[in-house]
Amino acid sequence: MSVQRIFYVLWTQKREYDDPGVDYEQQYQQRVLKNLQQKAERLGFDLVPQPSQF
Is the model more confident about 21 or about 42? Answer: 42
* pTM over the 0.85 mark: no
Beta carbons of 10 and 17 less than 8 angstroms apart: yes
Q: Which residues contact 36 (CB under 8 A, 6 or more apart)?
A: 47
pLDDT tens by residue, 20-32:
787 888 899 999 9
- The answer on pLDDT for 49 being more than 90 is no
Percent of the chain clearing pLDDT 90 (strictly above): 37
Examine residue 26 and state whether it is found in any structural domain, yes or no. yes
Identify the pLDDT of residue 1. 66
Domain count across the chain = 1
Examine residue 27 and state whether it is found in any structural domain, yes or no. yes
Query: Domain range spanning residue 25?
Result: 20-44
Examine residue 8 and state whether it is found in any structural domain, yes or no. no
Rounded-to-integer distance, Cα 1 and Cα 9, Å: 11
